Amino acid sequence: MTQSDQQQAVLLSEPAPHVRLLTLNVPDLRNAMTEEMTWSWTEALDAIENDRDVRALVVTGSGTSFCSGADLSWLDDAPSGERTPDRLQRKMAPFYRSWLAPREMPFPVIAAINGPAVGAGVCLALACDLRYASNDALFKTPFNFLGTHGGMGITALLPEVIGYAWAREMLYTGRDVLADEALRLGLVTGVQDDVLGYSIDVARTIASAAPIPTKLTKMGLEQGRAGLAAAVTWESLAQPVTMVTADLHEGIAASQERRRPVFTGD
């Protein structure tokens, strides 16, 4: 695997100021999570996370698919006698962490779901903060029909978004959920003809906000999952942090002067 192979498996671009776009780029495999793509994805996210200019990230797929899930052939290439649950667990844990990293990124991540999202591809979409789908998108969690248990956080991420009743139905039946139904279930926030363009516009809007409170809001939403008391405790710490920033003064001044604020992250 060469560095060029890794770079081509995931494409990184800057479609708008402070916005980055990651495109899964193995269309012949319907953007399956191959070893090359996983390395490329991890390196790209590391670079983005360390780039102070980034305020929002969009993830999409090339070709007609968003992501067809894990390429299980590379997860264990050992002889059959050495394919033990313990050995597989040691390989799968870092694989999960890598693809669920959008959850931990210090800024909002948007999934522009341009086609089918299957298995772990659904988990990747769910790990993003916002999800928008094209009319051609579909969602499928066929783990049990492949003879395997669901992975990559599906048993937590899916019910968090659509509730346990519908999560059970999706996981037990493995059926296709088309874009319109995904919208009704709350699996996606919107369905758009030009899903990538729309997602980039949303990312541009997010990137125009003050970056420090946006980052703290993402962290606060995680804290709030523990209940109102945890949310109030977090907010009593986070809001004072934002109230001593230069961006607060810029926001107030822009509001008074009826102009668009220009936030620097200071």
Per-residue pLDDT for the chain (266 aa), expressed as one digit of tens each? 344 444 599 999 999 999 999 999 999 999 999 989 999 999 999 999 999 999 999 999 999 999 999 987 765 666 666 677 777 777 888 999 999 999 999 999 999 999 999 999 999 999 999 999 999 999 999 999 999 999 999 999 999 999 999 999 999 999 999 999 999 999 999 999 999 999 999 999 999 999 999 999 999 999 999 999 999 999 999 999 999 999 999 899 999 999 999 999 88
Domain 3-207 indexed as CATH 3.90.226.10: yes
pLDDT reported for residue 1: 39
- H/E run at residue 13: strand 10-16
Rounded CA-CA distance 156/25 in Å is 27
Q: b vs e for 223-237, b when ≥16 Cβ sit within 10 Å of the residue's Cβ?
A: beeeeeeeeeebeee
pTM for this entry: 0.92
DSSP 142: -
Sheet containing strand 10-16, edge to edge, reads 10-16, 19-24, 56-61, 109-113, 130-133, 190-191
pLDDT reported for residue 173: 98
pLDDT reported for residue 73: 75
Interhelix angle 120-127/85-99, nearest 10 degrees: 40
DSSP 100: T
pLDDT reported for residue 76: 60
